[in-house]
Amino acid sequence: MCIAAMLYMKIDILTIFPSMFNGPLTESLIGRALRSGILEIETVDIRSFSKDKHLKVDDKPFGGGPGMVMKVGPLLDAITSVGVRRKNKSYKNFHSKPYVIYMSPQGKKLDTAMVKELSKFKHLVILCGHYEGVDERIINYVDCEVSIGDYVLTGGEIPAMVLIDSVARMLPGVVKKEKSVKNDSFYNGMLDYPHYTRPAIFKRYSVPNVLLSGNHKEIQKWREEQSAKRTRERRPDLIKDVLE
């Protein structure tokens, strides 16, 4: 079967702002993956599951305090609507079941190891919170909480875009040259080496001579050295992780 015709992953995004995804997920590599059929992405409007005549999905927190909290009922109905069945034992293997992710600043920090693992699933369901967060009881229906960093954004939509972009790049056929993905920063625990293209001399800056030599063995050696040097200088913590 042709790769372009093979669906590798389906992603359902549960959000109260579905239109936010129209641009970022329809351009560049992600857009091409959607058009080729490698990837399928659907947005689900959580408000459509509200029982309120004004389609409210939030309420005041028990115990008082500022802000509003997303209600558990509409959230669970949204999760259920995309085929998540918590007690279904019929899946052939773990990675074939829908995997539900809640984008949260309190979650495990997204890194390359997590991205690689998430890329093995056939169906991801991403829940985007808002306001002060979600009713804690919905976490009983979530497989993993994921954060993109130690800061807080207005909602889970932008973090969801980051997760989708990073995971999609790992799918076969999304990036034409698989080697490009494996050379990326963090893929093997190190930062990427410097890149150059034409012209060979720009103002007073020139391309390192080794890259113009045609000696592929020396070029590879230089790239490995530069990768290690850049990692030591900019992210010494990564060097420690690699050695461990």
Question: Exposed, middle or buried, 23 (CB in 10 Å: 0-12/13-18/19+)?
Answer: exposed
Q: Give the confidence band of 96 by pLDDT, cuts at 50, 70, 90.
A: confident
Assigned superfamily of 188-243: tRNA(m1g37)methyltransferase, domain 2 (1.10.1270.20)
- Select from 162, 147, 142, 155 the least CA-distant residue to 79: 142
pLDDT value at residue 85? 66
Is 105 considered catalytic here? Answer: yes
Check pLDDT > 70 for residue 186. Answer: no
Secondary structure of the chain in HEC code, one letter for each residue: CCHHHCCCEEEEEEECCHHHHCCCCCCHHHHHHHHHCCEEEEEEEHHHHCCCCCCCCEECCCCCCCCCEECHHHHHHHHHHCCCCCCCCCCCCHHHCCEEEEEEEEEEECCHHHHHHHCCCCEEEEEECECCCECHHHHHHCCEEEECCCCCCCECHHHHHHHHHHHHCCCCCCCCCHHHHHCCCCCCCCCCCCCCCCCCEECCEECCHHHHCCCHHHHHHHHHHHHHHHHHHHCHHHHHHHHC
Check pLDDT > 70 for residue 86. Answer: no
Is 18 considered catalytic here? Answer: no
Is 132 considered catalytic here? Answer: yes
Residues 6+ away with beta carbon under 8 Å from 145: 101, 102, 103, 104, 106, 107, 108, 139
Assigned superfamily of 3-168: SPOUT methyltransferase, trefoil knot domain (3.40.1280.10)
Q: Give the confidence band of 4 by pLDDT, cuts at 50, 70, 90.
A: very low
132/2 Cα distance (integer angstroms): 45
Q: What are the pLDDT digits (tens) for 138-183?
A: 999 999 999 999 999 999 999 999 999 999 999 988 886 565 555 5
The domains of the chain are located at 3-168, 188-243
Question: Within 13 Å, how many C-alpha atoms sit on residue 171's CB side?
Answer: 29
What average pLDDT does this structure show over 97-106? 96
Q: Which residues pair with 124 in a beta bridge?
A: 11, 99
Q: Give the confidence band of 7 by pLDDT, cuts at 50, 70, 90.
A: confident
For the entire predicted model, the pTM comes to: 0.87
Among residues 143, 184, 192, 235, which one is catalytic? 184
Quote the percentage of the chain above a pLDDT of 70: 87
124/132 Cα distance (integer angstroms): 24
Among residues 77, 117, 132, 143, which one is catalytic? 132
Domains 3-168 and 188-243 alike in fold: no
Q: What are the pLDDT digits (tens) for 103-113?
A: 999 999 999 99
